[in-house]
Amino acid sequence: MIRTLLVDDEPLAIEALRALLAEEPDVEIAGTCFNGREAVEAIRTLRPDFVLLDVQMPVFDGFEVIEELEPGEIPVVVFVTAFDQYALRAFGVHALDYLLKPVEPERFRDALRHAREILAGRRERETNRRLLALLEEMEARRRTLDRFVVRDRDSVRFIKAQDVEAIEAAGVYVVLHRGCDVFILRDALSTLETRLSGEHFLRTHRSWIVNVDRIAEIRGGAGRPTEILLTTGLTVPVSRRHRAGVVARVGRQ
């Protein structure tokens, strides 16, 4: 049996999906949720095989539900959406399955067939790749970067910006420092600087950006190089070019 979770903030939409699934003898409805937070909790506790997931919901939207989950927790997902045409093109380009409201029975059966193929193990790796590509594209559309999408072999990790204490340039990559963990992201430090919240992140050096909420103290001066000590114990250099701005900013904390 395919244990299925239905997620939509509209009760009528849930009932419409129930009616369509009632015709499928190999599908069992494991539960229903009416917002994204409930969905995250239900996925972790019920461990469904398959989720029909609304995109636009209160608390967490459909994309944020996926982002809250660890790679091993993500079930087979078909998005249900009334999204604009631009976003629908993003779905189409990456060939990740979706259903457009109101859901048509024939299109629904196609999506369920796709889910069965994935659950049979024939296309899991390709599906993960497409899901990652879609989420990266949707993340790139955000004006303010509040999370990082990081590739991890055939999986994807979502790192909240607020949890990152420093970002270090490394050639064509950047290194995200989060406690004892480091994550590699292919991007330019200058690009990230323009998209990160100026309220929480500060450039200290041509190769470093720090989370100002994680600054413990500034060291140096009087002929010695200036550096920042972060709450995790990591030390970050401060260049002469950025020193005045760093001192002024940290002094306002």
Q: Look up the CATH number of the domain holding residue 175.
A: 2.40.50.1020
Q: What length is written for the chain? A: 253
Please give the model's pTM, rounded to 2 decimal places: 0.55
CA distance 110 to 100: 13
Is residue 235 located within the same domain as residue 111? no
Q: What is the pLDDT along the chain (253 residues), one digit of tens a residue?
A: 999 999 999 999 999 999 999 999 999 999 999 999 999 999 999 999 999 999 888 878 888 888 788 777 888 888 888 766 545 554 554 435 778 888 999 999 998 998 888 888 755 566 666 666 666 666 666 667 888 888 766 667 788 899 999 999 998 899 999 999 999 988 899 989 988 988 899 999 999 999 999 999 998 766 788 999 999 999 999 998 998 888 888 765 5
Q: Do residues 123 and 204 both lie within one domain?
A: no
Query: What pLDDT is recorded for position 199?
Result: 84
Which domain CATH number covers 76?
Answer: 3.40.50.2300
**Quick one: 156 and 44 in the same domain?**
no
Closest CA to 234 of 171, 154, 163, 178: 178
**What does DSSP assign to residue 242?**
H
Neighbours of 95 (CB within 10 A): 13
Instruction: Give the per-residue pLDDT at 33.
Output: 96
Which DSSP state fits 71?
A: G
117: DSSP letter: H
Q: Are residues 104 and 191 in the same domain?
A: no
**Rg of the chain over all Cα atoms, to the nearest angstrom:** 22
The residues, ordered by sequence, that sit 6+ positions from 17 with a Cβ below 8 Å of its Cβ are 6, 8, 52, 80, 103
List strands edge to edge, sheet with 235-238. 215-221, 224-230, 235-238
Per-residue pLDDT at 130:
66
**Residues 50 and 161 placed together within one structural domain of the fold:** no
Rounded to 5 degrees, what angle do the CA atoms 194, 128, 139 make? 20
**Residue 116 structural domain:** 2-139
pLDDT of residue 133: 67
Look at residues 139, 164, 187 and tell me which one is the last residue of a structural domain: 139
What pLDDT score does 86 carry? 44
Instruction: Provide the token pair at 14.
Output: 């849930």
- Angle among Cα 118, 119, 120 to the nearest 5 degrees reads 90
Q: Which of 75, 106, 139 is the last residue of a domain?
A: 139
108 and 207 inside one domain: no
Residues 73 and 160 grouped into a single domain = no
Token pair in block for residue 249 = 């900013």
CA 112 to chain centre: 25
Count structural domains, the chain.
2
